[in-house]
Amino acid sequence: MMQEAGNDNSFEIIDKKNVPSTIDNVAPTVSAIPMYNPSNIGNLLSSVPPPSDLPNFIAAAPIQQPLPVVPIPSSTVSSAPPLTHDIVSNVSSSPITPPQPGGNFYPTSFSAAIPPNKGATLGAIPPPNTEVPLNFDSIDDNQGGLFGWMKGAVSTGGIFSKVAEKAKNSVDSMITTLDPQMREFIYSGGDLEVVVASDREDVISPIREAFQLVFGRATVVGRPALVTNVAAQTVGFKEAINAANTRIASLHTQPETLSVPTVAVESFIFQMDEDKWFDMDVIVLNDMSKQIVLETFTQPTAVPSTIVTLAQSETTEQYPFKSSGLAVKVATLLSNNLQVPSYEWHEHVTGLSRRTLLLNAAKALAGLYKNLNLQKS
């Protein structure tokens, strides 16, 4: 039954048999789609074509042509010496023995990597984690490389011993700089003993330092020399040397000083020109046991002629040692005039102390004495 358009009250009866069925028309189309069947998966994958090859952008390498074969003349082949039976027998008679189980030894044989003239041989290889001691005695002194350098470094006089000696000297220098009196305790000792004919430290100290610098270690002590036949101010080289020998002779009256070198210091003045006077010190060493007598002199220091004239005026004719000197020391007059101690007037006038002047002359004296000892030994 179907409602008619435009007329709400009219109806038309339609026969169902005459209307075509929509489902009947669609049914054939639906039936054409295959139903899901798990067994058909293999057939679906087999129908997929294989993937195509990727493009290759690398250029092909050129084909190398073989090298031409150079023929060898028949004359060269015929002139080569044949392989003798001795060479073949020597090679075949020395088979290489494989290493034995549990051992670390390999055969000693020729190696093409090591020339035979180097004397290199194969020996025992130590097992792992084994400390191998270094034998520096077997290393040649002229052999270069690391082991030769190490032997020179650890041997006597090598770099290590020099570094240790430098460090020791640096520490000693620091100690003696902070406390100069420690020098006597650090460098005293050894085989050398020196006696100075004086009880003044400004005279003993430079003599001690000079001998310790030259000999390394030396015991230098001072003893008073009681002399009454020496002028207060010696004049001239000859009189100064005689005065120093007189001081040494006064110490030789003691038996313990006869077997050790004795040193005496004598200050004197000398005239170079009419108005030119100079002050110097002579250092005399006398070693009676070795028959050695040495003299050295300090650097001359100019003395004003007015000071010398004043000292001469204060020396009377009745002075018993007027022939060898003056009754008043020049150092005493200069210290009164400059208002400084008598042993500091050199530094006030020239900038060099008397100790420095004595030290340089004493080092020269110690060097001469050391060389003479080496020649006599």
Tell me: do 156 and 258 sit in the same domain.
no
User: Which CATH number fits the domain that encloses residue 238?
Assistant: 3.90.950.10
Of the residues 178, 204, 233, the one at which a domain ends = 178
Higher-pLDDT residue of 48 and 193 is: 193
Return the C-alpha torsion angle 254, 257, 259, 261, nearest 10.
-150
Of the residues 150, 178, 206, the one at which a domain ends = 178
Tell me: do 166 and 207 sit in the same domain.
no
Within a domain: residue 269?
A: yes
Tell me: do 199 and 329 sit in the same domain.
yes
Tell me: do 317 and 185 sit in the same domain.
yes
Give me the DSSP letters along 259-278: TS-EEEEEEEEEEEETTEEE
Q: Tell me the residue range of the domain where 174 lies.
A: 140-178
Tell me: do 328 and 228 sit in the same domain.
yes
Within a domain: residue 2?
A: no
Give me 81's structure tokens: 């010496």
**97: exposed, middle or buried (Cβ count in 10 Å: 0-12, 13-18, 19+):** exposed
Which pLDDT score is estimated for 303? 95
**333: exposed, middle or buried (Cβ count in 10 Å: 0-12, 13-18, 19+):** buried
What are the CA-CA distances from residue 373 to residues 283, 291, 362 (Å)?
A: 18, 11, 16
pLDDT tens readout for residues 175-215: 555 555 555 555 565 688 999 999 999 999 999 999 999 99
Residues whose CB is less than 8 angstroms from the CB of residue 325 and which lie 6 or more positions away in sequence, other chains included: 230, 231, 232, 233, 234, 235, 239, 268
Which pLDDT score is estimated for 376? 78
Window from 215-229, 298-312, 328-342, 356-370 with minimum mean pLDDT: 215-229
Secondary structure of the chain: what % helix, strand, coil (to 5)? 40, 15, 45
Tell me: do 192 and 292 sit in the same domain.
yes
What are the CA-CA distances from residue 164 to residues 148, 167, 186, 289, 354 (Å)?
A: 20, 5, 17, 37, 34
Which pLDDT score is estimated for 113? 55
268 has pLDDT over 90: yes
Within a domain: residue 77?
A: no
Tell me: do 169 and 271 sit in the same domain.
no
Q: What is the number of structural domains in the chain?
A: 2
Residues 237-249 have a mean pLDDT of 95
Tell me: do 155 and 273 sit in the same domain.
no
> What's the pLDDT band for 127 if we cut at 50, 70, 90?
low
Give me the DSSP letters along 79-91: HSPPPPHHHHHHH
Tell me: do 145 and 229 sit in the same domain.
no
Round to whole Å and give the CA distance between 196 and 207: 8
Tell me: do 336 and 282 sit in the same domain.
yes
Give me 367's structure tokens: 């060097």
Answer whether 211's CB lies under 8 Å from 245's CB. no
Round to whole Å and give the CA distance between 131 and 128: 9
Cα distance from N-terminal residue to C-terminal residue, the chain? 158
pLDDT tens readout for residues 330-373: 999 999 999 999 889 999 999 999 999 999 999 999 999 999 98
252 has pLDDT over 50: yes
> What's the pLDDT band for 30 if we cut at 50, 70, 90?
very low
Mean pLDDT of all residues in the chain? 73
E strand spans, 76-165:
none
